[in-house]
Structure 1
C-alpha cells in the first residue's frame, strides 16, 4: 500500500513539474503566441502613451489574427532576444531583427517581411559627409545589433561606443559625445523626421532583410507564420500597415 501511494505521489509530482516546464504541452495555450520585442526602436516598435505600438507590432498582431491566435507580448532588451528564444522564454521574436548567417545558425527566420539596412546618423553641421569619414570617429551602436560586428569588420578604425538602447545612441550624438550613430534605416529616418538638427548620410552601409525569429525545433510555427504573411499580403492587410507607418513621402525619403 505504501509503495502504491509512493508511486502515485511520484507520478503526480512528475505531472506537476511537466505542467510548469517551459515548452511542454501543458504549459502552452494553443491560442496564445508569446512574442518578445524591445519596444525602443520607432517606428518599428515603441511605447506611445503607455501603449506598445509600431510597424512590427501591427504586423505581428495581423499575423496572429490570420493564424487564429492572440499575442502575448514579452518586453526584453534586444541583446536578450535570441538567447531568450533559445531558452524557450517565448515562442518568437520580432524587433527589427536582421536575418544574418550568424543568427541563422542558432534560430530560424520567417521569410523577410520588410527590407531595411544600416544607416549612419550625424548632426546637421557634422563634417562627416561619406561613410569613409566614419573612420577614426566615435560611432555609437546598440549592443547585440549587427552594427557592432559590421563596424568592427568593415571600419576597424572606428571607435565604437556601445549602449543598451537605441535612444541612447541618438542622445550621445546630440550632446557631442559621439560623432555618429549607426542603426537601422527606419529608426534613423524616423528620428530625423521628429528631431531637427540631425541628418542621415545619403549612402546606406548595408541592405538587409527583417525576419521573425523562431526556434529551430519548431519549423511548423515558422511555416504557419509564412503562410499567414502570404495571407495578409494577399488580402491587403500588409499594404495597409506599410502605408500607415511608411507613407509614400516617408518611404521615398528612406530610400
Structure 2
C-alpha cells in the first residue's frame, strides 16, 4: 500500500474508533483524573453550601474517596429528583446526596456498600400537640419531591395531607410559618435543623431505619468497586471515623 493510502487508512480507522466509542469512555479519556459527581447541596449536615462553598459529610466523604482513588472531584449541582435520571443519562459519573438504598432505585442504578445509617423522621414545632407518629394522620406534612418520604407517606399514612416542595429547606420553612404541621425528612438533616434553630423538635419514634449509598450506573461496575475499595481504605486509616466525629458527634 502506498504511504499516502496507508496514512489515510490509519486516519479513517482512528476516526471510526473515536466515533464508535461510548461518550462516557471519551469523557474518561479526556479527563481521567476527574470524577464527575452530582449532589443536591440543600440537606445539612450531609451536603449544603456555606460562604458560597459546598460542605457537609457527603462532600467531605466524596473528596476523601476521590483522594484515595487518586482523582479530583468535578462537582455538579442538581435537584434531588434529577440525580438518578441525570446519572443514567451520563451527565455525571456518581451521585452522592444522602440517597437511600431502595429496591426501586437499585433496579435503575447500582449502589456502593452503605456508608451511613439514617432513616425518616418527623420534625414539628416544639409546642406542637403532635407527640407520636399516629398523630400525623389528618395533618399537613411537608416532604421534598423525589425523596422516599413522598411514597412512604402515601403508602403507610394515607390520611396525611402531603405538601410537596422542591427544596429541603422549604419543608422546614412551612412548619415554621404554620403552613405544615410537620416535615418528614432524613434523620441527619432533621437533627441538624433542631441544633441550629430553636423552637423545633424531632419525634422520638423513627418512621424508617435505612442506609445511604453512593449511586453509579449499572454499566460501571469497575467504578462501584473502586469506590468500595476507597471506602474500605479510609475506614482502615481513620479518615472515615474522623469525618463521622466531625459531623455527628454532637448527636
Query: TM exceeds 0.5?
Result: yes
Q: Which residue of 2 aligns with 1:64?
A: 66
Rounded Cα–Cα distance in structure 2 between residues aligned with 1:10 and 1:175: 65
Q: Which string of whole-angstrom CA distances, capped at 9 and with x for unpartnered residues, describes residues 150-201 of structure 1?
A: 0001000000000000000000000000000000000000000000110000
- Write out per-residue CA displacement over residues 126-148 of structure 1, whole angstroms, 9 at most, x where no aligned residue: 11100000011000000000000
- Give CA-to-partner distance per residue, 1:6-45, whole Å, 9 cap, x none: 99998787677668x7313355422110000000000000
The aligned counterpart of 1:23 is 24
RMSD of aligned Cα (Å): 1.9
Distance 1:26 1:87 in 2: 13
Determine the structure 2 residue equivalent to 1:233.
235
User: 1:103 aligned to 2:123?
Assistant: no
Gap change, CA 1:71 and 1:176, over 3 Å in 2: same
Task: State the match for 2:130 in structure 1.
Answer: 128
3-state SS in 1 of match to 2:129? coil
Q: Could you list the structure 1 runs, at least 4 aligned residues long, displaced by more than 6 angstroms after superposition.
A: 6-13
TM-score (norm 1): 0.90
Greater shift, 47-56 or 10-19, is seen at 10-19
Equivalent residue pairs, number: 244
Supply the distance in 1 between the matched residues of 2:120 and 2:197 (Cα, whole angstroms). 19
Q: CA 1:12–1:226 in structure 2 vs 1: closer, same or farther (change >3 Å)?
A: closer
Separation in 1 of the partners of 2:186 and 2:121? 6
- CA distance in structure 2 between the aligned counterparts of 1:26 and 1:18, rounded to whole angstroms: 13
> Which residue of 2 is the match for residue 160 of structure 1?
162
Gaps of 5+ in 2: none
When normalised by structure 2's length, the TM-score is 0.92
Q: Name the SS for the 1:33 alignment partner.
A: strand
Q: 1:83-232 counterparts in 2 under 5 A?
A: 83-232=85-234
Report Cα offsets for 1:77-134 as digits up to 9, x if no partner.
Answer: 0000000000000001000000000000000000000000000000011111000000
